[in-house]
């Protein structure tokens, strides 16, 4: 049976092994090859599953060699997001002497979940211990990082990985794992992962059968079922006025499935075409979705605010139409 955690099993052991992100990789290699190695505090931004955590880990392995686990500390900020976490766990780590190096790295994933107070406390720690502790923050929504903190970080934007590179990676891993596959299976996974190698590997683990064979029908059913069911529930909730639940569902769809915001609007419109609702309600949803899709293309807008506005607009449409959620 195939390993269910392929993403962790095939984590890069050095920067050169990272899939995609050529600009980021080139800069990281320049930092590693400096005569006197020093890192800026950094912010990695981009969609889920495109390599932010992989680059941070690979950077540490290149810098520290066999001592990398003693000098690299990784946290998910969505688990502990308040100021007490910073004052206790993180502050304690900044006082630890690095092993065989002049500085250590603290990596905070999903840093956009940190409270404003926690970000302010981190900024103070960064200033005080800047010579011995370097911070790397990773997030999907950089607009939620305070300007005061962001101004002290070198920002690197991670892009969706091109399909051809994901395809090459999948072929390599399937070969190593002895996974056979139906014609078109890897192509479908590659197209459906939206530039996220992590999501592609999750799809393989979900769609392989007990004979270690990747079945095209499983991939089709898995993708369609998740998109339809999750999106339909979100639409029903928001049209009935439950904006808070719908917002969480929207963000879960975005984060967990590796979708970009613009892809999410396309999925919503596909679902609106399928569901059985009044034609005038359907038209209002389509028009509103088009408006916010255009707004989200503007790099100067705060995406999280636009999502809230979009969902509230849908809730108003539902209220004005007298929509009642099915039991």
Q: Look at residue 225 in the predicted model and tell me its pLDDT.
A: 45
Q: Look at residue 18 in the predicted model and tell me its pLDDT.
A: 95
pLDDT means over runs of 10, the chain (327 residues):
75 94 95 81 91 95 94 82 82 90 93 88 91 92 89 94 94 93 89 84 83 81 58 84 85 60 72 80 91 80 84 91 70
Q: Look at residue 114 in the predicted model and tell me its pLDDT.
A: 87
Tell me, letter by letter, the H, E, C secondary structure of the chain: CCCCCHHHHCCCCCHHHCCCCHHHHHHHHHHHCCCCCCCCCEEEECCCCCCHHHHHHHHHHHHHHHHHHHHEEEEECCCCCCHHHHHHHHHHHHCCCCCCCCCEEEEEECHHHCCHHHHHHHHHHHHHCCCCEEEEEEECCHHHCCHHHHCCCEEEECCCCCHHHHHHHHHHHHHHHCCEECCCHHHHHHHHCCCCHHHHHHHHHHHECCCCEECHHHHHHHHHHHHHHHHHHHHHHHHCCCHHHHHHHHHHHHHHCCCCHHHHHHHHHHHHHHCCCCHHHHHHHHHHHHHHHHHHCCCCCCHHHHHHHHHHHHHHHHHHHCCCCCC
Q: Look at residue 229 in the predicted model and tell me its pLDDT.
A: 63
Q: Look at residue 157 in the predicted model and tell me its pLDDT.
A: 93
Architecture of domain 21-157: 3-Layer(aba) Sandwich (3.40)
Query: Where along the chain do its domains lie?
Result: 21-157, 163-223, 227-321
CATH number of the structural domain 163-223: 1.10.8.60
Flag whether the pTM goes above 0.85: no
What CATH class has 227-321?
A: mainly alpha
Q: Do 21-157 and 163-223 have matching folds?
A: no
**b or e along 142-180 (b: 16 or more beta carbons within 10 Å of the residue's beta carbon)?**
bebbeeebbebbeebebebbeeebbbebbeebbeeeebe
């Amino acid at each position: 049976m195939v390993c269910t955690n392929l993403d962790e099993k095939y984590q890069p052991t050095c920067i050169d092994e990272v899939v995609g992100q050529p600009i980021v990789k080139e800069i990281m290699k320049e930092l590693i090859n400096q005569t006197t190695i020093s890192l800026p505090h950094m912010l990695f931004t981009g969609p889920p599953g495109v390599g932010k955590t992989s680059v941070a880990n690979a950077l540490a392995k290149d810098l520290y060699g066999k001592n990398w686990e003693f000098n690299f500390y990784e946290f998910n900020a969505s688990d502990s997001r308040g100021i007490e976490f910073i004052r206790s766990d993180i502050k304690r780590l900044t006082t630890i002497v690095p092993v065989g190096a002049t500085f250590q790295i603290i990596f905070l994933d999903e840093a956009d979940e940190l409270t404003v107070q926690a970000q302010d406390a981190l900024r103070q720690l960064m200033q005080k211990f800047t010579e011995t502790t370097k911070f790397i923050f990773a997030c999907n929504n950089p607009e939620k990082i305070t300007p005061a903190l962001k101004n002290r970080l070198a920002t690197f934007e991670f892009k969706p990985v091109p399909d051809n590179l994901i395809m090459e990676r999948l072929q390599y891993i399937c070969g190593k794992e002895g996974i056979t596959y139906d014609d078109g299976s890897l192509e479908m996974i590659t197209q459906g992962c939206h530039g996220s190698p992590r999501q592609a590997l999750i799809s393989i683990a979900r769609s392989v059968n007990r004979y270690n064979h990747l079945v095209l029908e499983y991939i089709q059913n898995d993708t369609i079922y998740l998109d339809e069911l999750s999106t339909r529930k979100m639409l029903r909730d928001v049209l009935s006025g439950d904006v808070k639940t719908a917002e969480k569902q929207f963000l879960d769809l975005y984060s967990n499935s590796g979708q970009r915001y613009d892809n999410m609007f396309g999925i919503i419109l596909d679902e609106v075409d399928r569901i059985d609702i009044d034609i005038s309600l359907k038209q209002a949803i389509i028009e509103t979705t088009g408006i916010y899709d255009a707004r989200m293309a503007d790099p100067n807008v705060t995406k999280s605010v636009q999502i809230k506005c979009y969902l509230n607009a849908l809730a108003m449409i539902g209220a004005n139409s007298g929509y009642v959620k099915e039991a």
